[in-house]
Chains A and B, each alone.
Chain A
């Protein structure tokens, strides 16, 4: 290879004379070839052929291997030209003779040799230039077939060699690149796929174990790898990527090699030819099933926790150590009537509490910061200003170092419970008051009765009967929480002990509600009238009748007691507690008047007043 480089060292000093001229002028007689005219025809023909050729050529002739060459070859010879012409080879290239001689000898024995891509340095254009030549040695025979010379035909193959070298370099780089790519692909556990430009066809897929391989192009790849319900969304993403010729990227569900559902993160890029047309899509897909499942589980667990927090009507809050609000459960926002958590986030929590609750809240925070849970109850307004009473648990949330990191506060709305407690306390007070009031009434009835009793026996009896009447009236009132009673029921209960015969006592009137005092009063009045009727009036014989009736006209209540068929009535000598009760006391309960008429045909009593309530005199 280097041999022919050495053949033409220091190329460049070409003679201005053309080789044809040099041939003509050369003193051939002084060479073993002798004068040109004496040359055998084969030498002449060979020399002429050579000189006419545009290929660089040289001839080594005869036993001395005399060097002949043309213009083209003179360039190769460089500084050896023109001295080399007609000289023996061993004198032209003495330093190479050892290497050249065997090849030359073998050519003279009939062999041909070709040396391709021999590198040379030439200075054809004024600067040293790396060039490549092909050399071909072939024997030249005379008419008898004897080898008499060697023809060396050369060709400048620099362009080819350079192209070749560039190609080789490119291939080498490509191979190195491919090697690295292959190593990368091998090192990655991602699956690889190639798709047709329109993604209708999957050309290949290396599933890397987690999804099935596709070795032959398939147009059914969607059904093979994707679940029917996922296909539409994936197809939309593909169509968008294809339409814009932009990378496809999507995390989606796939059918794994074992048939179960998994998740991949898939990314594909378009591969384009020189004309910018997409020839295929090359993609990689990472198995993200485990991560996806973990995320899914986390999401489910979060949803579960959120559901728990949301469904609780307790107000669950997380505070920082400075007692600022950082979290409030959905259920908590509901009961606290918080429409926008941002409005209260960061607010100091104790300031939600009023009065004693505020002090208790501050103490609870201090306690939780010290690592001790505690609880209190107090009033706090909701965000809409509704006052609520809360039962509050405040406890530290410990960090990994075991020290309080945040504070948990759970408040339960016990307003109703508190109201019930307060109502019970009020009720107890009310009951005590009623008892005292009833006792005062009993005292008044007893004192009044005894004051006018003619004997202990009469007094004892009257007291018992009056208290009994009072007791029955109380029974009716108990049913309505001592607020009101139906007049019909009041009459029925009051008259009951005096009903001597079903048809002798009758009453009628519209439905009417009496106040508690009116009910008690009318009960006592009915009792007094009935007692008197039984003693002296219509109920003292076998035929007398009592008729009670009531009505409301123009806002005035009127009640009538009318006796008939009894013994003739004589006005009493004096008025006792009974008549005082009937005429004055009961009338006062109705804010009206009571009038007792001792009509000879029967006692009449008329009570007029305000129905269902007593107007207070100004």
Chain B
């Protein structure tokens, strides 16, 4: 692909409660060359973030069970880990820019896989050393 950065040094955290969709999103990120972690709930995601400082991208669904939904998680992550880039997807909600944390990107489900890959690459390019 001719990237001048090393995507495997930039980890992505996929948060999705549906196992099938999560598996596909994880495969998508791995295929794009990123180290990928996965979580089924927001609480699980926070714990993973705490142990993996190399995670620079949060890719989360909105609807999920647990104490937080994806939007709350995104805001919490922006607050606690400001450098982490945020990608949000949902099948239910029409999410406006005002709902998103700063610099957050929204992808309506079902999303074109290439758009996600392009977004990940752009983020990787921006934060590359």
Q: Could you list which residues of chain A lie within 8 angstroms of chain B, going by C-beta atoms?
A: 429, 432-433, 436-437, 439-445, 447-448, 451, 517, 521, 580-581, 584-589, 616-618
Task: Give the distance in Å from the alpha carbon of A442 to the alpha carbon of B40 in the complex.
Answer: 20
Residue of B nearest to A618 (CB): B43
| Distance between Cα atoms of A96 and B43 in the complex (Å) | 153
B23, B41, B109: the one contacting A439 at CB < 8 Å is B109
Nearest chain B CB to A396 CB, angstrom units:
45
Task: Select from chain B the residue with minimum beta-carbon distance to A517.
Answer: B18
B92 touches A436 (CB 8 A): yes
A–B Cβ pairs within 8 angstroms, 7 of them: A433-B63, A433-B91, A441-B18, A444-B20, A451-B27, A588-B22, A617-B41
Q: Taking the complex as formed, is B21 at the interface, i.e. its CB lies under 8 A from any CB of chain A?
A: yes
Please determine whether A436 and B109 come into contact, CB atoms closer than 8 angstroms.
Answer: yes
Q: A12 CA to B113 CA in the complex, in Å?
A: 159
On chain A, the residues within 8 Å of B24 by CB distance are: 443-444, 447-448
Q: Can you name 8 extra interface pairs (CB under 8 A) apart from A436-B92, A440-B110, A451-B27?
A: A436-B91, A436-B110, A440-B109, A441-B18, A447-B113, A589-B19, A616-B41, A617-B43
**Secondary structure type dominating chain A contacts:** helix
> Which residue on chain A has the smallest CB distance to residue B24?
A444
CB atoms of A440 and B113 under 8 A apart: no
> Is A617 a contact of B20 with CB atoms below 8 Å?
no
- Cβ-neighbour of B40 out of A440, A441, A517, A617 (below 8 A): A617
Residues of B within 8 A of A (CB): 18-24, 27-28, 40-41, 43-44, 63, 65-66, 91-92, 108-110, 113
Task: Please give me the residue from chain B that is nearest to A616 by CB atom.
Answer: B65
Q: How far is the CA of A445 from the CA of B28 in the complex (A)?
A: 13
Closest chain A CB from B106 CB (angstroms) = 14
CB-defined contacts of A448 to chain B, threshold 8 Å = 23-24, 27
- Docked-complex contact B19 and A617, CB < 8 angstroms: no
Q: In whole Å, how far is B44's beta carbon from the nearest beta carbon of chain A? A: 6
The docked-state distance in angstroms from the alpha carbon of A581 to that of B65 is: 22
Q: Is the CB–CB distance between B23 and A580 below 8 Å?
A: yes
Decide: B44 and A617 in contact? CB cutoff 8 A.
yes
Shortest Cβ gap from B79 to chain A (Å): 21
Distance (Å) between the CB of B72 and the closest chain A CB?
15
Q: How far is B109's CA from A429's CA once the two chains are assembled, in angstroms?
A: 14
B27 / chain A contacts, CB cutoff of 8 Å: 447-448, 451
Question: Is A441 within 8 A of B20, CB to CB?
Answer: yes
B2 CB to nearest A CB, Å: 23
Interface centre among A581, A587, A616 (most CB of B within 10 A): A616
Report the bound CA distance from A443 to B113 in whole Å.
10
* A618 CA / B19 CA spacing, docked (Å): 17
Q: Which residues of B contact A439 (CB under 8 A)?
A: 91, 109-110
What residue of chain B has the Cβ atom nearest to residue A442's Cβ?
A: B110
Chain A residues near B110 (CB-CB < 8 A): 436, 439-440, 442-443
